[in-house]
Structure 1
Amino acid sequence: MADNRNRTALLVIDMQKDFIHEDGLACLSGGRAIVPSVIKAVQVARQRGFLIVWVVREHDPQGRDVELFRRHFYASGKVGPAVKGSAAAELVDGLEIKEEDYKLVKTRFSAFFDTNLHSLLQGAGINNLVITGVQTPNCIRQTAYDALALDYPSVTVIADATAAATPDVQVANIFDMMNVGVATPTLQEWCELNA
């Protein structure tokens, strides 16, 4: 069991004020409701000795590193979502990066796209990934699918520690991921499996 724990990483994706707070520039309906579940998942991961990877978006103030379809949010002096160094790009209250954790900055949906995540996980001997955060049809799903494509043998998305714009979108995406081999337990089920 101890060996398996050393081979597990919890990815916490985009739990930043701009995506979770009601006044955030890219607020996701449903995001606030999962904050307690994400906090609990982090606590359990810490107790079990899992590597915690905080995956965050941080963008150039002019939006030069943003996807083409989002650049209008940064045009003509506008302040877009998750600008590097802004308070809005910080993690929501209750979530904190500790010294033993790893912070990974991404500029696209997948935590693997154009980042060092895969080499970090390989170097740490990680082969079990557990994913929490927002938003399920975009960043969560793309990260999970890329993990499958990279042959991680165990990919888990905690169903009630992730969120989408509507419950229907959440359910549909969880169903799709489950159908390709991603484990989709509830937080309680995941905690019981990792007791």
Structure 2
Amino acid sequence: MNKYTKPHWGDSILITIDTQNDFTLPNAPAEIKGTTDIVPRMKMVLEAYRAKGLPILHVIRYYKEDGSNVDLCRKEAIENGVRIATPNTEGAELVEGIRPYDYNQLNASKLLKGKFQSIGEKEWVMYKSRWGSFYKTDLEHFLHNQSIDTLVFTGCNFPNCPRTSMYEASERDFRVVMISDAMSQVYDKGIKEMENIGAHVCKVNDVLESL
């Protein structure tokens, strides 16, 4: 870390990536191994952010049944009838362990239009159509409006969406934090690569102490 990459915890937002039932629960249609195991640690950080009144953003995926919004690598499967994180289904909902106390069902119509849905005090959900959270979204504008300069990442699963989102955040000059034990499918080389772009890689207990 240096003065330009050191986290500003008081100006940070906690981001969860794709921690939805269809990606997380055992035997789910697109289960990512290890995601269920990290949910309790994600919850610890989420509760700390809620207690401090710091912002939280849950980033999710939707796959329409007609495949119209699906990336090419999954498009044929969806067109052939595979159902993953289909809008307005329980599979697309956030897993129970990371939901705020007064959580209501996600508003797929609103989210698919690029809107941010409030699900709690300083807690929102947004939809992304590809790996990266910044791709064709208003995320950068949203963060600047909130005077946020530090993005703290957790969720599912490192090689794809979290990794891409962290690179996108870095190239937009946000300070990046990766909580390695609150993210699934993390591996040593990936950690080193994140450190090489100035990301602060730490564990849940480090974040709790910093807050």
Contact 1:59 1:82 in 2 (8 A): yes
Per the TM alignment, residue 5 of structure 1 is displaced from its structure 2 partner at its CA by 5.2
| 2:55 corresponds to | 51
| 1:174 corresponds to | 191
Is 1:69 aligned with 2:77?
Answer: no
Per the TM alignment, residue 59 of structure 1 is displaced from its structure 2 partner at its CA by 2.0
Ranges in structure 1 where 5+ consecutive residues have no aligned partner? none
| 2:177 corresponds to | 156
What amino acid does structure 2 have at the position aligned with 1:142?
A: T
What is the CA deviation profile of residues 54-95 of structure 1, one whole-angstrom value per residue up to 9, with x for unaligned ones? 10111211121010111122123x132111111111111222
| 1:81 corresponds to | 84
Match of 1:33 among 18, 37, 44: 37
Distance 1:191 1:99 in 2: 21
| 2:128 corresponds to | 106
What amino acid does structure 2 have at the position aligned with 1:155?
A: V
Note the aligned Cα RMSD (angstroms): 1.4
Per the TM alignment, residue 170 of structure 1 is displaced from its structure 2 partner at its CA by 2.3
What amino acid does structure 1 have at the position aligned with 2:190?
A: N
Contact 1:5 1:48 in 2 (8 A): no
What amino acid does structure 1 have at the position aligned with 2:12?
A: T
What is the CA deviation profile of residues 126-171 of structure 1, one whole-angstrom value per residue up to 9, with x for unaligned ones? 101101001101111111110010011x21010100011xxxx522
Match of 1:140 among 162, 170, 187: 162
What amino acid does structure 2 have at the position aligned with 1:156?
A: V
| 1:122 corresponds to | 144
Distance 1:149 1:5 in 2: 20
Contact 1:163 1:170 in 2 (8 A): no
Contact 2:65 2:79 in 1 (8 A): no
Contact 1:73 1:81 in 2 (8 A): no
Per the TM alignment, residue 118 of structure 1 is displaced from its structure 2 partner at its CA by 0.6
Distance 2:173 2:188 in 1: 25
Distance 2:40 2:49 in 1: 14
Per the TM alignment, residue 107 of structure 1 is displaced from its structure 2 partner at its CA by 1.3
Distance 1:6 1:186 in 2: 18
What amino acid does structure 1 have at the position aligned with 2:207?
A: W
Equivalent residues, number: 185
Runs of 4+ in 1 over 3 A off after TM superposition: none
Identity percentage over the alignment? Answer: 30
